[in-house]
Structure 1
C-alpha cells in the first residue's frame, strides 16, 4: 500500500467567468469544487492506476468534512488527523484565458498537533510499502518536519518519495537519513542549490553530482514538454516525451509522482519506471480535471516515451 501525505489540503474552487469585473459583481453559473492538494492529486492518480493507496495528512472543520466526503465518493481510502481548526479553500477565477488565484494559507498547527500527526504517521507506516510526501507544510510546523517524517520512514525501512521545495526540501536532503526519490523541476533545483541549473546533459550531470544529493537513489528532474533528466544511482538518463495537446497542465507533476510511486512499488525496470512516470504526467495534462488520467490511453503514450542512457 502506498501512503500519500498531504499536510495542507484544500477544497479547490473553480469560478469560470467570461469577463472578470473589478470592484463589481461577478456572477458564476458553473462552479467546480474538488478535494485539492498535491498529495491528494497523487492519491487520486494512484487509485486510478488501481494500486492500493491511503491518503493522510491534517484536516479540520466543515472544509475537512467536505474533503473526506469527496475522497470517499471517489473510493479513495483516507485516514487524516482531525483538528478543530478549519482547513482551507483555494479559489481559481478563470477569465479571458487567464487564471487568477486566491489561496488561503490554511490552519496554523500547534506543536502538539504536529507531534500527534507524527505518531499517527508512524502507525500508518506499518501497513505501507512506500510513502509519498507532497506539497508545502501548514503554518506552525518547523521546516524540518518532513525531515522527521523521512527519518521515521527510513527507520522502518519504508522508501519515501519527496515532492517539495525550498527550505523544507533542503532540510530533508541535509539529513543523514535520505529519501528514496525526489522530483524537483528546474526552477526548484535552482532554488535549492542557489544557482541557475542548466538543462544540458553535461550541466545536469554535474548539477546532480552535488554533495547534497548523495545517498538518494532516484532524482527525477521534470522539464515540462522536454521530458525529464534523471539520475538513478550512478547512472543518468534523458527521457523525452511526444508532443501532446495540453488542456490543463496543473497537477501534472503530482501525476508524475503517482506514476513513479506505482512503478517503484511494482518493482518495475528502470526504463519502465521512467516511462510510467512521464506517461501519467502527460495524461493529466491532456485532461481538464486536475489529478485525473485516462488509463485507457496509458499504453499508447507509454510506447512513445523514449529513455536514453547518458554516458
Structure 2
C-alpha cells in the first residue's frame, strides 16, 4: 500500500491551443482538468499501475472539492484536511511550435491544517500495515519548525518506508532524515548538494548522504539510480512527447508502485521510465495509456551507469 502525503495540492488545467500569441486572444481546442500537485500526480500514476493508494491532503474551496471528486473517481482513498481554497495551476500547449507555457500559483500556507495533517498521517499509518510513504512537491509554510522531521518521526514509528521528491531547503532537510528513496532532477540535486556533475555523480553523492536509493533524472539523457549495490542508467532513446508536465511525478509514482509490488530496482526503474515517457505523449499530468506503457517498456535500455 502507498500513502501519498500531498502538502501542496492543486487543480491542474491544461489548455491545448493552435498558437499562443502574447497579448492576443485565443480559444483552447482542448481543455483537460485533473487533480494535481506532485504527490497527487504520483498517486494517480501509481493507482493506474494497480497499486492501492491513499492520499492525505489539505483541501478547500471548489478546487478542493473537484480534487476530492476526481480522486474518488480514480479509486484513490482520500483523507482530506480542511484549509483555505486550493490553488490552480495552468499549462498551455501550443500546437504550432510544440511549446508549453506553465502558470503555477504558489502553494498557500497550511499552518491551519498542519496539525490535522499529522493526525491524519498517523491514523493512516496505524491502520495500513506495511506501507510506502510518498512525500512529493513543495512544502508550504506549516507554522511548524521542522515539518519534514514531524513526518519522518511518524514514518519511523510505524516502521514504514518513505520516498521523497522535493527541492531546495526541503530537499536538504530530507537528506538528513534517511528516506528510502530520493527522486529529483539533475538541477535539484546539484542545488541541494552544492555541487556540479553529471547525473551519475549526483546520484552517487545523494546515496552517500541518505544511504538509500538515489534517483536523478536528466531529461532525454535518461535517469540514473544508485543504491548500495548498483548504479543503473535507464534510457528510452528517440521517444519524446509534447506534454512533459507530470512526467517526474509519474516516474516516482510508478517506481514506488513497482517496488511495493516486489519488483527489483532494475525492473521498477524500467517501468517508471516508460511510464514517464508515456505521460508526455498525452495531455494531463500523470496520465498515460496502458498501450503506450507496454510498448515503451520494451524499448527501455538498462545499463551500468
TM-score over 0.5 for the alignment?
yes
For 2:187, the equivalent position in structure 1 comes to 187
For 1:53, the equivalent position in structure 2 comes to 53
For 1:153, the equivalent position in structure 2 comes to 155
| Pair 1:65–1:19, CA change in 2 (3 A) | same
For 1:91, the equivalent position in structure 2 comes to 90
Q: 2:132 aligns with which of 130, 133, 157?
A: 130
| Pair 1:102–1:148, CA change in 2 (3 A) | same
CA distance in 2 between counterparts of 1:107 and 1:38 reads 15
TM-score, normalised to structure 2, is 0.89
Q: Is the 8 A contact 1:34 1:70 kept in 2?
A: yes
User: Cα offset for 1:8?
Assistant: 1.1
Q: CA RMSD in A?
A: 2.4
CA distance in 1 between counterparts of 2:175 and 2:232 reads 21
Q: What are the within-5 Å matches in structure 2 for residues 151-230 of structure 1? A: 151-175=153-177, 178-199=178-199, 201=200, 204=201, 207-210=202-205, 213-230=208-225
Q: Is the 8 A contact 2:207 2:227 kept in 1?
A: no
Secondary structure of the corresponding residue to residue 154 of structure 1: helix
For 1:280, the equivalent position in structure 2 comes to 275
CA distance in 2 between counterparts of 1:276 and 1:211 reads 22
CA distance in 1 between counterparts of 2:203 and 2:32 reads 40
CA distance in 2 between counterparts of 1:20 and 1:208 reads 38
TM-score, normalised to structure 1, is 0.87
Structure 2 residue 60 is the aligned partner of structure 1 residue 65: no
**What stretches of structure 1 of length at least 5 have no aligned partner?**
none
User: Cα offset for 1:72?
Assistant: 1.9
C-alpha offsets along residues 89-110 of structure 1, whole Å, 9 cap, x if unaligned? 1123444543333322243222
- Could you list the structure 1 runs, at least 4 aligned residues long, displaced by more than 6 angstroms after superposition: none
User: Cα offset for 1:300?
Assistant: 3.2
For 2:141, the equivalent position in structure 1 comes to 139
Q: 1:291 aligns with which of 278, 286, 289?
A: 286
Q: Is the 8 A contact 2:234 2:303 kept in 1?
A: yes
Q: Is the 8 A contact 1:86 1:106 kept in 2?
A: no
CA distance in 1 between counterparts of 2:206 and 2:254 reads 27
Tell which deviates more after alignment, 292-301 or 50-59: 292-301
Secondary structure of the corresponding residue to residue 47 of structure 1: helix
Paired positions, count: 301
| Pair 1:121–1:241, CA change in 2 (3 A) | same
Q: What are the within-5 Å matches in structure 2 for residues 101-116 of structure 1? A: 101-110=102-111, 113-116=113-116
